[in-house]
Structure 1
Amino acid sequence: MSSLLAARRVDLLLLLVAVAWGSSYLAAKTLTGTVGVTVILSLRFLITTLALALIWLIGNRRRAGRRELVTGVILGFTQAAVLLLETQGISGTSATNAGLIISLVIVFTPFTESVAFHVRLPRMLFVAAVTAVVGVCLLVSGDGFAAPTLGDLLVLAAAAVRSIHVTAVSALTRGRGYSALHLTLTQSAVCAVVYTLADYQGVLRAVHGFDAGQWLGVLYLGVACSVFAFLVQTWAIQQTSASRASLLMGTEPIWAVLIGITIGRETLTVLGVIGAALIITGTYLGLRAETRHRAATVPAGRESAVKP
């Protein structure tokens, strides 16, 4: 009975991570209507970096090695590019669309990994990719078939770049025993520096001019969507299988849709609903195919499931 309750607790926490990620699109969308994208990202990652640094200080304070630090810096720049594209895209589309389109990273990543590591892919991944892409076409079509908005294209580009980032994470860290906390802290610090330098005057104005609601939004993105999600997923993956964790956290686009429609009062046309269903189906099929393929080719204990 106790083991069942423990398993359910892990599942619940992983679902909370998915809810936090799914809600991040609406939170970012709300903030982009008041200040610039780089200002939002600067404040978000300054908060994230400070929180992670505090966690490091409370912990064992082991210093990162030189190669570990260099790897974190490189990944920090690719992460900064992903989030800039994603957040800029969110400002030009709906939170619902953004949450669904960015989920294509689940389908894109196996293809970038296949190119990087010369690995053959299961056929189901191609079926999942076609299903998801058709879903995106329907989602962005509105009342009829039309060209996607610039925001939609930027989020799609973010999904593609994120798949490259995830592949880079795997290529640069596999088998090296790097600390997840060190890498995440370094990446967050790089993002904070890049975004702050991009518009430091805007950041200073925001610090002095933000109201309580805006600070709450930034804190939510920095603490709940970054620090909390990182800590929970790192702990939870040690308590369950990577495949189960991936499937639970893969519900992110579903929460993005539900939150966008209920709280954000966004709407979907009939074609949009069909497209959303196809995207969710495609990402789910892709995730299952990838995890089964990984389980068949990777020795036990070598799997991982970390949000890029």
Structure 2
Amino acid sequence: MIGSHGRVGGLGRHELALIGVTALWGATFLIIHFAVDYAGPMFFVGVRFLVAGLIAAAVFWRSLRGISGYEIGAGAVIGVAIFLGYGLQTFGLQHITSSMSGFITAFYVPLVPLMQWLFLRRRPGRASLVGVALAFAGLLLLAGPGVSGLQLGLGETATIIGAVAVAGEVILISHFAPRVDLRRVTVVQLLTAGALGFLAMPVTGESIPVFDWRWFIPAVGLGAISMLIQYTMTWAQRHVSATRATIIYSGEPVWAGLLGWLAGDALPWYVLLGAAFIVAGVLVSELPPRRRD
């Protein structure tokens, strides 16, 4: 129900915007999973974020004339985190299903309070620690425990490291958003992520792939979506705290898992149980602290 102040079900426009981009984000896992069959992950990331950055520059070109060194630095730092997060996630999608990738990536949510504790000296509450424990238990289940022990492969490992980078991105955006022009920083962070994707190609042994619509259309389409997601995140997180934003972002693995399942991803019982643990950890980690009487 829409209230007199533009709120729907108790959510304001900033929260609703984050819910919308979370649904889009969940859909990207399946798209990337298919596209990397035709292009290397670093090349795909490079094209995706170059397109996103050029779109952002075309839309916000008037604002770029007054860009400061601080804003360039802020955008570059966020862009490094974006590259690491999406680059490792894209690499992992060559080896695991889109559903699995979405569930593992969600591990970044309970990591946010831990990383804030480590880097910003903001001690997490008990709920955050319980959430991390639940999410970690979920990761162990996703690894597929069996007679030979945990089966944490290359794709799972890369995606876990990528989740750490995504957590860093959320914290960096919340830190810089109140201090910068959002349009300028959005352009810089997207172009930085794209440039790093191309620069990483020799390191990963990739070459430019043969042109194929099956990678070109997803890369360009995801570029436009990425620009929308990154700008919306930066805009909305000026008014929504990092912890509240991560509650909303917790819907990402649900969307990714549902779409992956519809596309035919096999989800054995331990994967479903592990996904449930991770989602539970995401939600528990963001419970408000209990007030003492």
TM-score by length of 1: 0.80
Change (3 A) 1:13 1:80: closer
What is the Cα deviation at residue 233 of structure 1? 4.2
Whether 2:197 is the aligned partner of 1:195: answer: yes
What is the Cα deviation at residue 239 of structure 1? 7.9
Q: 8 Å contact 2:186–2:231 — kept in the other structure?
A: no
Corresponding residue of 1:178: 180
Whether 2:19 is the aligned partner of 1:18: answer: no
Q: 8 Å contact 1:28–1:87 — kept in the other structure?
A: yes
Corresponding residue of 1:275: 274
What is the Cα deviation at residue 223 of structure 1? 1.2
Q: 8 Å contact 1:102–1:158 — kept in the other structure?
A: yes
In the alignment, residue 166 of structure 2 is paired with which amino acid?
R
- RMSD (Å) for aligned C-alpha atoms: 2.9
| Identity of matched residues, % | 22
Whether 2:72 is the aligned partner of 1:69: answer: yes
Change (3 A) 1:7 1:242: farther
TM-score by length of 2: 0.84
Q: Aligned partners of 1:146 and 1:61: how far apart in 2? A: 50
In the alignment, residue 132 of structure 1 is paired with which amino acid?
A
Change (3 A) 1:169 1:33: same
Q: Aligned partners of 1:84 and 1:246: how far apart in 2? A: 21
Q: Aligned partners of 1:229 and 1:174: how far apart in 2? A: 15
Secondary structure at the aligned position of 1:116 is classed as helix
Unmatched tracts of structure 2, length 5 or more: none
CA deviation digits over 1:171-196, x for unaligned, max 9?
5x276x21222222111111222222
**Corresponding residue to 1:56 among 55, 60, 69:** 60
Secondary structure at the aligned position of 2:273 is classed as helix
What is the Cα deviation at residue 220 of structure 1? 2.6
Secondary structure at the aligned position of 2:66 is classed as coil
What is the Cα deviation at residue 170 of structure 1? 4.8
Change (3 A) 1:258 1:5: farther
What is the Cα deviation at residue 261 of structure 1? 0.5
What is the Cα deviation at residue 279 of structure 1? 0.8
Corresponding residue of 1:102: 105
Normalized per residue, the structure richer in helix is 1
In the alignment, residue 276 of structure 1 is paired with which amino acid?
A
Q: Aligned partners of 2:19 and 2:173: how far apart in 1? A: 24
Change (3 A) 1:61 1:74: closer
Corresponding residue of 1:248: 248
Corresponding residue of 1:163: 167
Whether 2:104 is the aligned partner of 1:81: answer: no
Unmatched tracts of structure 1, length 5 or more: 297-308
Secondary structure at the aligned position of 2:3 is classed as helix
Q: Aligned partners of 2:58 and 2:117: how far apart in 1? A: 38
How many pairs align?
282
Q: 8 Å contact 2:109–2:246 — kept in the other structure?
A: no
Change (3 A) 1:246 1:217: same
Corresponding residue of 1:304: none
Q: Aligned partners of 1:233 and 1:73: how far apart in 2? A: 16
CA deviation digits over 1:224-245, x for unaligned, max 9?
2x12223444555678787665
Q: Aligned partners of 1:244 and 1:166: how far apart in 2? A: 11
Q: Aligned partners of 1:215 and 1:117: how far apart in 2? A: 40
CA deviation digits over 1:119-165, x for unaligned, max 9?
22110111111111111111220776532111001101111233334
Q: Aligned partners of 1:241 and 1:168: how far apart in 2? A: 12
What is the Cα deviation at residue 118 of structure 1? 1.7
Change (3 A) 1:4 1:242: farther
Q: 8 Å contact 1:22–1:253 — kept in the other structure?
A: yes
Q: Aligned partners of 1:237 and 1:179: how far apart in 2? A: 13
Change (3 A) 1:18 1:137: same
